[in-house]
Structure 1
Amino acid sequence: MRRGERKAMDPDLGIMAGQTLFAIQRELFETLAREGHPRLRPRHGAVLAYLDEEGSRATDLSQQSGQHKQVIGTLVDELVELGYVRREPDPQDRRAKLIVPTPLGLEEMERADAIVADIERRHALAVGEDVYAVFKQAFRQITRLQRARLAQPPTPAG
């Protein structure tokens, strides 16, 4: 049996996580486009999914999303141009900048949260709320374990 066939029959965690991510992103951004946000792309989720209403630092967005700070900077530039965020001095540290959602950004964040909540409700109904709650808890724990592993220094090969 070919590797692709094996992976299709019994996908590993990475494949399932990727397929789930891409399917959710596609539904989310297609719905957002129909609802007045046609210029947003899934890559913008690295900022918008983690952005606080009162603003967030780029370093925090980078850490939360797992993206490099330079990538976040590029995405913020795009979102500024599209009118979803602006940069402001951080009142806690005037040397730092906050990424702050505009009214358009706040509206998008509210819609995105509602769309994702609908997706989650649909899955909970399909598999049962108890099963879905256990799944989310296990997936949350696996995500924490994997991210913690990445934070550890590499061990020498031997």
Structure 2
Amino acid sequence: MSRGHLPRPDRKPLIALIDRANRVMQADMVRNAHLRGYTEVKPAHNAVFATLGEEGGRAIDMAERAGITRQSMGEVVRDMVSLGILEMCPDPADRRAKLVTYTEYGRLVAGRGFERLIELEQRFDEEFGVAEYALAREVLDRIGGLLDRYAAEETEVG
């Protein structure tokens, strides 16, 4: 069987650049939590910190926003409940569902994480300049919007 030539980009693919930046930032968040004394924080917890608002939320909605399965999110939530970071109670809007919220300790841990994000944003502004960094953020946001639009167009055609 003949093996054809695989088409390859002439530069590192954007998806590889975005993936590396994401992995490095996620690792930084965990490392920073550990440096601040929150050694129980694990990389998997980033999915919760990134998707749980102050008012709480349902695990199914958080899983969808994080792009992971409901089962995976449930496992992470249960782990964080056992660590005292989260609690679950009946959802007042739907008693069959559970509402995930931060404990007081969890609010402290999450708050420190958000402080780190603010610090990184400020450092990136200083490193790249406010205008250049704002442009990078805008381009990434627009790429997400374009990909959503392309997917919708392909669904309509298919």
* Deviation (angstroms), 1:56: 0.6
Q: Partners in 2 of 1:28 and 1:98 — Cα distance?
A: 25
* Deviation (angstroms), 1:153: 4.8
Q: Partners in 1 of 2:58 and 2:149 — Cα distance?
A: 22
Q: Partners in 2 of 1:72 and 1:148 — Cα distance?
A: 27
Moved beyond 3 Å, runs of 4+ = 144-156
Q: Tell me the SS of whatever aligns to 2:95.
A: strand
* Deviation (angstroms), 1:93: 1.1
* Deviation (angstroms), 1:146: 3.2
Q: Tell me the SS of whatever aligns to 1:98.
A: strand
Aligned residues: 150
Match of residue 142 from structure 2: 141
Q: Tell me the SS of whatever aligns to 1:94.
A: strand
Over alpha carbons, which structure has the higher Rg?
2
C-alpha distance after superposition, 1:33-59 (max 9, x if no partner): 111211111211111111112211112
Identity percentage of aligned residues: 29
Match of residue 55 from structure 1: 56
Q: Is the 8 A contact 1:49 1:109 kept in 2?
A: no
Query: What amino acid is the match of 2:134?
Result: A
Residue 114 and residue 153 in structure 1: after superposition, are their counterparts in 2 closer, same or farther (change >3 A)? same
Query: What amino acid is the match of 1:63?
Result: E
Query: What amino acid is the match of 1:79?
Result: M
**Structure 1 stretches of 5 or more lacking a match?**
1-5
Q: Considering only aligned residues, what root-mean-square deviation do their CA atoms show, in Å?
A: 2.2
Q: 5 Å matches for 1:8-47? A: 10-47=11-48
**Structure 2 stretches of 5 or more lacking a match?**
1-7
Q: Is the 8 A contact 1:25 1:42 kept in 2?
A: yes
TM-score in terms of structure 1 length: 0.85
Q: Partners in 1 of 2:151 and 2:100 — Cα distance?
A: 26
